Amino acid sequence: MRFEDQRLLLVNELKREGIISPAVLDAIGKVPRENFVLQEYLDYAYQNRPLPIKEGQTISQPLMIAIMLQLLDLQPTDIVLEIGTGSGYQSALLAEIVQEVCTVERLETLSLNAQKVLRNAGYRNIHFRIGDGHSGWQKAYPPHKEFDKIIVSAAAQEVPKRLVEQLKLNGKMAIPIGGGGFQILYIVTKTEAGLDIAEAGGCSFVPFVCDDKLLR
């Protein structure tokens, strides 16, 4: 079966699972996931499951990505900070929906590979930083100080303070929190009264690794 047909089947499956955002469904129907998986997993590119990528990391389950993007209520004018570039698949989905994506990856080989794939695909609204995600978009170009939305694709022990500082007032952050192989996805909204933190179901992500220098 052609990848295009498999992509349509995946979109229909996500609809049955409760994804109703036209923007999210359109992006998933447009972005070729086969370009972001390892060669040996091409036959599984459109199965609704996470897949291994380089450096012991994973490309997330399409449903999990779709849930996070839908809960963030992404807008065409949004500038989004993504923590965990990975293969670049989620970056591409974001770039189809929002104005600008700033993505951070601590593993240089993953970032450079994602940059190559995404630039070859023609994306010009994605910016990259190689470094620790806990510090967000510090010392990076373009010099954004705050973001409308933040999406974290790794499991943290708590909501990182520096990411909260870079979230705009009334902005939203999607972040999995917890240890082991199972966490809870939270949607964090920054309000004038503080943080509004809402549970959004169970999930499973790789750990959010912190540079020891940030703890000193």
In-domain check, residue 19: no
Tens of pLDDT along the chain (216 residues) come to: 899 999 999 999 999 999 999 999 999 999 999 999 999 999 999 999 999 999 989 999 999 999 999 999 999 999 999 999 999 999 999 999 999 999 999 999 999 999 999 999 999 999 999 999 999 999 899 999 999 999 999 999 999 999 999 999 999 999 999 987 899 999 999 999 999 999 999 998 988 987 644 433
Domain count of the fold of the chain? 1
In-domain check, residue 51: no
Nearest to 173 by CA among 27, 85, 19, 69: 69
CATH number at residue 186: 3.40.50.150
In-domain check, residue 194: yes
In-domain check, residue 103: yes
In-domain check, residue 199: yes
In-domain check, residue 178: yes
Active-site choice (21, 60, 135, 153): 60
Residue 111 bears catalytic tag = no
State which residues form the domain around 143: 61-215
